[in-house]
């Protein structure tokens, strides 16, 4: 089944689907917008297998562009709203899109690099006739293993990594998420994450599929966001660690009743145990789902049942329905409880690989399994505890130090909102631990106090050499901390131990 039809077949015509500001779009409105956009794309000469870039903020235009692209059998290429003209040019030279759907706000900035002769649809550029009925717009017949979405996972190098996601991948992951979250048509999720990020798009998939609704929001003014969550009676919200760190440590989130909120999703990186505990206490009537995933797995790989947070705090749980997870050592054998190995995943949600990169695909997707690059241990019950990304370990005094462990200890100090540890070259240590933090408004915490606390809680080789207090962490569009940028900052700084800048 075409994935666009799969998502739009259930929602009641008159039920709310998308809430954007004061505007409510029903499921009928969404179907009509998709039908109209599908006709427009076909009129531009686009069809099965063509690649269509979609550039814009979360909106009905983005949703219509994305689903219409899938409906005609083309391949959607979502790009971040922050994409610069230089980045767009570099990505286009690699991926060669035949069509572009661009929001009216971004079009003036990007128009000079849009390729001549490519199909172009700009939001509200020209008035359109009334859309045809949904049933009158045929969907392309697509193979389940045909590419549906191409997602960039790294920068603008000559050979970027682009993950292929098929119609089968998308449907399998959507079904699994709906299953373990027990979603139905009554669900209304606060949608903060961009749809160009697989976690954000998974919310669109699941809530359209069950006939629920999404409230489109931005994380610019957190208190206003909380007002929006209350006024629209959201039943769910989803976010990455930086979102929950800010809400818990620098807003009135924990003082609000939030009576309609019943499902909280957290993924996109590890939220330290101290903050998970605060999150549970802040909204005791809601279920908190700690989850783990990767773009190469479409979105989700595992979750921890909320009822087990008391006994398995710190775990990302076990595989979601339809996904098999193992933690394997360097010989490919399952690790014993307490030992560390790499998480390896199998399931219908696993991507067939990277676009035009057979060698990287063979390394990452050996034998159809996904080698995640995440190191973890398991307990006696088979629950998985991520230790760190392979690339984020810090080698200090001959020890492998988990950056997540250092960050978790720092965040035990309630004046700290966010923490990120990176390694920098050091002639004595090999790598020194450089810790970046942000603090809540009015806090008087200094670098020396943080180092002193870490000395009490961590072994000597894991204590940061330097602590730097930032006004704000560098974040990707999806809200993840950009450790590559922090490493560059730390290497340039060369600050003496304990000095805050």
Q: Is the same domain home to 140 and 232? A: no
The strand pairing partners of 7, in sequence order, are: none
Q: How many CA atoms lie within 13 A of 261 on its CB side?
A: 25
Q: Which CATH number characterizes residue 415's domain? A: 3.30.300.30
Say whether both 25 and 153 belong to one domain: yes
Residue that terminates a domain, selected from 368, 389, 410 = 389
Q: In 321-369, at which residue ranges do the beta strands (DSSP E only) sit?
A: 323-328, 340-347, 353-354
Same domain, yes or no, for 281 and 229?
Answer: yes
Say whether both 349 and 240 belong to one domain: yes
- Regarding whether 150 and 50 lie in a shared domain, the answer is yes
Residues 373 and 482 in one domain: no
Whether 104 and 55 have beta carbons less than 8 Å apart is answered as no
Would you state the pLDDT for residue 172? 98
Q: Is the pTM of this model over 0.85?
A: yes
Contacts of 146 (CB under 8 A, 6+ apart): 49, 73, 166, 167
Tokens standing for residue 198: 């697989």
The answer on 372 and 397 residing in a single domain is no
The SS3 assignment for 87 reads: helix
CB-based contact 44:21 (threshold 8 Å): no
pLDDT of residue 390: 81
Give pLDDT, residue 493: 78
- Of 342, 358, 389, the domain-final residue: 389
pLDDT value of position 399: 86
**Is 367 in the same domain as 459?**
no
Contact 376, 327 (CB under 8 A): yes
Strands ordered across the beta sheet of 370-378? 323-328, 340-347, 370-378, 384-389
**Which of 142, 166, 190 is where one domain is finished?**
166
| Residue 184, in any domain of the structure | no
Residue 280 backbone dihedrals phi, psi, to 5 degrees: -60, -40
Residue 214 lies in a domain: no
Please give the structure tokens belonging to residue 159: 């050979």
pLDDT tens per residue across all 501 residues of the chain: 899 999 999 999 999 999 999 999 999 999 999 999 999 999 999 999 999 999 999 999 999 999 999 999 999 999 999 999 999 999 999 999 999 999 999 999 999 999 999 999 999 866 566 678 888 899 999 999 999 999 998 543 345 799 999 999 999 999 999 999 999 999 999 999 999 999 999 999 999 999 999 999 999 899 999 999 999 999 999 999 999 999 999 999 999 999 999 999 999 999 999 999 999 999 999 999 999 999 999 999 999 999 999 999 999 999 999 999 999 999 999 999 999 999 999 999 999 999 999 999 999 998 899 999 999 999 999 999 999 888 888 988 888 899 999 999 999 999 999 999 999 998 889 999 999 999 998 899 999 999 999 999 999 999 999 999 999 999 988 888 999 899 999 988 764 444 433
Residue 14 resides in a domain: yes
pLDDT for 499: 41
Q: Mark whether 243 and 135 lie in a shared domain.
A: no
Beta bridge partners of 75: 51
Strand, helix or coil at 298? coil
Which CATH number do you get for residue 31? 3.40.50.980
CA distance 288 to 237: 10
The label of the residue with tokens 């939001």 reads: 123
The packing angle between helices 241-250 and 222-231, to 10°, is: 90
CATH code of residue 226: 3.40.50.12780
C-alpha to C-alpha distance for 61 and 251, rounded to whole angstroms: 32
Quick one: DSSP state of residue 475?
A: B
| Containing structural domain, residue 441 | 393-493
Task: Name 108's Cβ contacts closer than 8 Å, sequence gap at least 6.
Answer: none
Q: Residue 199: inside a domain, yes or no?
A: no
Domains in the chain, number: 3
For strand 370-378 and strand 353-354, is the pairing parallel, antiparallel, or unpaired? unpaired
Of 79, 31, 35, 86, the closest CA to residue 57 belongs to 79
Cα(124)–Cα(185) distance, integer angstroms: 30
Domain for residue 13, yes or no? yes
Angstrom distance (rounded) from CA 254 to CA 248: 6
Tokens of 15: 């039920």
Helix, coil or strand: residue 451: helix
Q: Are residues 356 and 433 in the same domain?
A: no
Same-domain pairing of 369 and 417: no
Q: Are residues 262 and 136 in the same domain?
A: no
| E-only strand ranges, 361-454 | 370-378, 384-389, 394-396, 399-401, 416-426, 430-439
Q: Is residue 113 part of a domain?
A: yes
Q: How far is CA 121 from CA 83, 100, 118, 290, 448, in A?
A: 17, 6, 10, 38, 55
Number of neighbouring beta carbons within 10 Å of residue 302: 24
In a domain, 192, yes or no: no
Helix (H) or strand (E) holding 108: helix 107-110
Q: Does residue 338 lie in a domain region? A: yes
């Amino acid at each position: 089944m075409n994935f666009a039809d799969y998502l739009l077949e259930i929602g009641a015509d008159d039920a709310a689907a998308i809430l954007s500001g004061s505007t409510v779009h029903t499921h009928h409105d969404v179907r009509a917008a998709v039908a109209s956009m599908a006709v427009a794309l076909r009129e531009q000469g686009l069809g099965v297998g063509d690649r269509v870039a979609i550039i814009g903020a979360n909106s009905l235009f983005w949703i219509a562009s994305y689903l219409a692209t899938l409906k005609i059998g083309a391949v959607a290429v979502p790009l971040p709203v922050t994409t610069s003209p230089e980045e767009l040019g570099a990505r286009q030279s690699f991926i060669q899109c035949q069509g572009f759907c661009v929001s009216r706000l971004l079009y003036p900035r990007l128009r000079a690099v849009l390729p001549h002769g490519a199909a172009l649809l700009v939001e509200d550029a020209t008035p359109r006739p009334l859309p045809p009925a949904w049933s009158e717009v045929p969907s392309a017949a697509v193979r389940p293993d045909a590419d549906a979405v191409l997602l960039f996972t790294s920068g603008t190098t000559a050979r970027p990594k682009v993950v292929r996601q098929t119609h089968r991948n998308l449907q399998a992951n959507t079904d699994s998420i709906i299953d373990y979250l027990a979603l139905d048509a009554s669900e209304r999720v606060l949608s903060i994450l961009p749809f160009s990020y697989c976690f954000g798009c998974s919310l669109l998939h699941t809530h359209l599929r069950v006939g629920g609704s999404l409230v489109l929001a931005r994380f610019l003014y957190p208190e206003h966001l909380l007002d929006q969550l209350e006024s629209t009676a959201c039943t769910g919200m989803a976010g990455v660690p930086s979102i929950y760190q800010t809400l818990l440590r620098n807003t009135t989130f924990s003082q609000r009743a939030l009576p309609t909120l019943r499902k909280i999703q957290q993924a996109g990186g590890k939220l330290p145990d101290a903050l998970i505990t605060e999150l549970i206490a802040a909204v005791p009537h809601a279920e908190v789902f700690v989850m783990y995933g990767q773009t190469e797995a479409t979105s989700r790989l595992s979750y921890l049942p909320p009822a087990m947070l008391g006994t398995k705090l710190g775990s990302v749980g076990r595989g979601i329905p339809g996904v098999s997870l193992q933690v394997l050592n360097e010989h490919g054998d399952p690790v014993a409880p307490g030992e560390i190995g790499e998480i390896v995943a199998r399931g219908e949600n696993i991507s067939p690989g990277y676009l035009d990169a057979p060698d990287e695909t063979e390394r990452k997707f050996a034998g159809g399994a996904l080698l995640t690059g995440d190191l973890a241990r398991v307990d006696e019950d088979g629950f998985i505890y991520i230790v760190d990304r392979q690339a984020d370990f810090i080698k200090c005094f001959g020890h492998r130090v988990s950056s997540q462990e250092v960050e978790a200890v720092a965040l035990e100090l309630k004046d700290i909102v966010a923490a990120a540890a990176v390694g920098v070259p050091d002639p004595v240590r090999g790598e020194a631990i450089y810790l970046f933090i942000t603090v809540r408004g009015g806090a008087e915490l200094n670098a020396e106090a943080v180092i002193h606390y870490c000395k009490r809680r961590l072994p000597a080789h894991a204590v940061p050499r330097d602590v730097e207090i930032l006004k704000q962490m560098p974040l990707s569009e999806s809200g993840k901390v950009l450790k590559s940028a922090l490493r560059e900052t730390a290497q340039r700084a060369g600050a003496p131990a304990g000095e805050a800048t």
